[in-house]
Structure 1
Amino acid sequence: MIARTPAGVSAVVVITRDLARRFRAVAATCAAGRRRGPAPPVVARASGDTVTLTARFDGVTLGVTTPAPPGPAGVLVAPMAVLEAVEGAGAGPVELRVSGGHSGEARWVDAGTPRSLPFEAPSPGRPDDPPPDPAEWHPVPPRLLAALHECGRTAARDPGRYALHRVQVRGGAGAVVGTDGRTALVAGGFEFPFGEDLLVPAVPAFGCRELAGTAAVHVGRAGGHLAVRAGPWTVWLPADAGGRYPDLDGVVPRAGAGAVAGLDAADAAAVLAALPGLPGADGEGRPVTLDLDGGVAVRARGPDGVAELRLSRSPAAGPPARVAVDRAALRRALRLGCHTVRTAGGGRPVAFEGAGLTLVTVALDPDAAVAPDPAARVTHTDPAAHGPVHPRPERRTTMPPPDTTGVPGPGRADPPPAEAPDPLAEAEALRAALAEAAARAGRLVAALKHRRREQKALTQAWSSLRALNLTPDRP
């Protein structure tokens, strides 16, 4: 039996304290840039056996729909501060009711004690209504949420002449792009139900734990918005199909045009662990050098000299290349799993490729690249493959005067013949050398195969604006 709305009460909506907490947590991440002014009001709508909460943030709309006990349909508007007051970790009910025009009240029980909170309830109206749902929802891989989040992190913080503070969703290319003018991140491999390129706000909401891990993710176009649905959550993003965005095509080094290296996972972890301790972290651009010459070395210079980390398990191919990048960009690329490095040298951008991701960053001034230094403090990521090198002690031998008689003198004898090498030891040494060569060759082949698989994504890679020497799209 469905309960009726009490007499004199215009609307009643029942939510849970946990829903209030989760909605407020996600709502705090829906503003693009710094949020100004008070939080927007929340629209609570009861319909049959579901309850929906929505709120609008400068064009971005957040909504969540959850099951609820059957009850009368109703809609009311409450300040966000009401959710803050009633939120909690439990599933205890919270009754929101409006009566007498704009008089609202929230009722709940906290630790066995009944609580109530009066509030002023604006009348529901069109400005508070969410955008319409798409006519059709299109399923996409769940990693789209991470793509929107990471590309949003890469976008510029402040608006500029070009829309670098936004994220570009490329319908035809099936990619999501973000750039701040120095670093660009491209996430590819998607199929969108539209062909145009859209500019949407960069909001952190897609990185919230409430949305992360959602198995069912869908997208759709509706009413000038790109709608993204993740489980019970929906985010409507205002979509600009005519905005100008940097053209990133052609920035990533072409296949065969430069040096390429495949970083072993253990080597990448070693670099991440070593980066905080490498010298030069306080220098301009926080430079760190990548040296690709058959292998890979990471080098940095500080007041106390040069430190070098040689990646024992990571092969490199192509012409030798030495380039300096911001260590923050290197750290981010490795944390994203982009372990294939590609550079054409000459101060051109450096690309880090991973599974469906490409991070492109500007190369620093060539003078910032650190050349090999005999006095450098060298560390290997696999010490077992490079035993400690000890200088051989200098041997001094006093040579007797030459004998001109041809007759051995007293106490002199012909030197004994050289001792023959141990065949078993020689065979063991040869087998170890061949095994190491085979392992290096295998890693190189794997890196090249990985590069071939990612070629399609690379052709869709993007660049930044001024620092990447690009021109904007033509109108």
Structure 2
Amino acid sequence: MIQVSRSLIRELKTVFSRGLGITSRQTGPPVEFLVDQRQLRIRTRNQQVALEYRTPVEGLEIQQISAPFGLLRCCHGPKADPVQIQRQEKAIQVEWQEAGIPQSMEYPTAECREFPALPDELDRNESRLMEALRDACETATDDSARYALDHLQLRGVEGQVISTDGRQLLVQEDFQFPWEGELLIPVNRLLCCRELRRGKSVEIGRTAEWVTLRSGPWTIWLRINEKARFPDVMELVNQSPEAVASLQIPDEDAEFICAALKPKPFHQDDAGKVTLDLNGEVTVCAREAGQGQQRNYVLCRSERSGESLRANTSRDYFRRALQLGFREISLSGSDTPACCRDEYRIYVWALLTQAETLQSQPDAVRIESTSVAPPKTRSRTKQKRVTERVQSEQKQAVEAEQVLTQMKSLCGGLTETVSHIRDLMAQLHTQSQGWRRGLTSDQRVGT
């Protein structure tokens, strides 16, 4: 018998469905539960992706149970209540409790396909490799014709992760890959999953057919596409013309403009583009969907260096550059791609034609970044809660000190009172003894 928690089954169902692209209407491949060498391995696969979850176990004999994917759908839950899975003659018996009520299901046994082997060599990287793969997947596209733009390029010697949709390009580097040359792996939504970013490090390697990633308890195999073609994007980066203007945007202005350009339902042709007006002030001109007036967002804290310039760009790519954390944008002209660089990344996107530039409007609504309160982020809210808790604890400490002082004062007063009572008692005792002696003398005289 194998026992796992309902919360783990819930995580397995989510990750397996996302990685293999399984919808609620699809049956899904079999799931294998394998106990060997003091660990439980739960895994599944299809033609392009294989997934495995490992967790240590004690006291279980070596065994293997293959069940239909529907098992994960029936007994998952938010809590760590146990689920017992055992194999009988020709069926899989599953038992658990839901709201204190015993539940049981019986499934036919299933056959799993042969699982990929681990590479002989795995290179360890920092956890930012998973973040890089997530950003790369969000840069690629599902629409691929001549080139495999729905794939990620991994360059071994250079240690680079490259992705593009034909209009934007993201190059991320300084990784360790144990192979030479370039290879392509398919974009997979699983790489955007937060469950895979729990590990403090990421191991990566390859076999003849698969690229393998290990992060925390998860291991992923992605099939290498040897027939697909990828554009030579590094030529575009290396031969880019020299910048004539540069835009520096601090965090406050970046938060302001990202909130202002938040995606909305577009009903006009002008709604998907903005114009960067770098003539004196740094202004972002936009025309919102369903609004007649143009809006000019003035980034009061931002600075422009170099030549004056007006550039027309997609609002999505401009906003994405800021969300990726870039704070400097270099422009080589109004009709050449914009470029952002930092220590390990390069982000490039194509500008729109000058004919689509939004012109100045006398009735445009002017909104300055300093006139709008910055949005409250979770970190600020958390910091506020911490501050309030510290202040409350300090107030309680002061009140406790005051109570202690009053108690000490009261104890001092009580001590003086007790001492005074004792003096009075001593005086009464002395007087009573005098009265007794006087009474005795009177009795003798009378006799």
Matched with 1:20 is 9
**Structure 1 residue 217 displacement after superposition:** 1.3
**Is residue 321 of structure 1 aligned with residue 321 of structure 2?**
no
2:335 corresponds, among 326, 331, 347, to: 347
SS at match of 1:52: strand
**Is residue 367 of structure 1 aligned with residue 355 of structure 2?**
yes
The answer to whether the 8 Å contact 1:338/1:352 transfers is yes
Structure-2 change in CA distance of 1:70 and 1:184 (3 Å): same
The answer to whether the 8 Å contact 1:32/1:201 transfers is no
What residue identity is the alignment partner of 2:87? Answer: V
Name the one with the larger helix percent: 2
1:39 corresponds, among 25, 28, 50, to: 28
Matched with 1:199 is 184
**Is residue 121 of structure 1 aligned with residue 109 of structure 2?**
yes
Structure-2 change in CA distance of 1:285 and 1:188 (3 Å): farther
Q: How many aligned positions are there? A: 369
Unmatched tracts of structure 1, length 5 or more: 1-11, 385-475
**Is residue 274 of structure 1 aligned with residue 274 of structure 2?**
no
**Structure 1 residue 26 displacement after superposition:** 0.8
Unmatched tracts of structure 2, length 5 or more: 373-447
The answer to whether the 8 Å contact 2:5/2:82 transfers is yes
The answer to whether the 8 Å contact 1:20/1:86 transfers is yes
The answer to whether the 8 Å contact 1:321/1:344 transfers is no
**Structure 1 residue 268 displacement after superposition:** 0.8
SS at match of 2:236: coil
**CA-to-aligned-CA distance 1:11-56 (integer Å, 9 cap, x gap):** x433222221111111121136989942111111011421111111
Matched with 2:432 is none
Q: Partners in 2 of 1:279 and 1:205 — Cα distance? A: 27
1:147 corresponds, among 129, 132, 135, to: 132
Matched with 2:272 is 286
2:296 corresponds, among 305, 308, 319, to: 308
Q: Partners in 1 of 2:271 and 2:178 — Cα distance? A: 41
What residue identity is the alignment partner of 1:181? Answer: G
SS at match of 1:29: helix
Q: Partners in 1 of 2:102 and 2:57 — Cα distance? A: 21
What residue identity is the alignment partner of 1:105? Answer: Q
The answer to whether the 8 Å contact 1:337/1:355 transfers is no
SS at match of 2:233: coil
The answer to whether the 8 Å contact 2:272/2:315 transfers is yes
SS at match of 1:382: helix
SS at match of 1:82: helix
1:233 corresponds, among 206, 218, 227, to: 218
1:49 corresponds, among 32, 35, 38, to: 38
SS at match of 1:211: helix
User: Structure 1 residues 15-24 or 85-94, which shifts more?
Assistant: 85-94
Structure-2 change in CA distance of 1:279 and 1:80 (3 Å): closer
**CA-to-aligned-CA distance 1:285-307 (integer Å, 9 cap, x gap):** 71101123455221124673432
1:62 corresponds, among 46, 51, 54, to: 51
What residue identity is the alignment partner of 2:216? Answer: G
Aligned residues: CA RMSD: 2.7
Q: Partners in 2 of 1:261 and 1:316 — Cα distance? A: 5
TM-score (norm 2): 0.75
Structure-2 change in CA distance of 1:230 and 1:310 (3 Å): same
SS at match of 1:168: strand
**Is residue 95 of structure 1 aligned with residue 81 of structure 2?**
no
Q: Partners in 1 of 2:23 and 2:104 — Cα distance? A: 32
Matched with 1:454 is none
**Is residue 263 of structure 1 aligned with residue 249 of structure 2?**
yes
**CA-to-aligned-CA distance 1:204-238 (integer Å, 9 cap, x gap):** 11222222242121111124211111100011111
Structure-2 change in CA distance of 1:311 and 1:279 (3 Å): farther
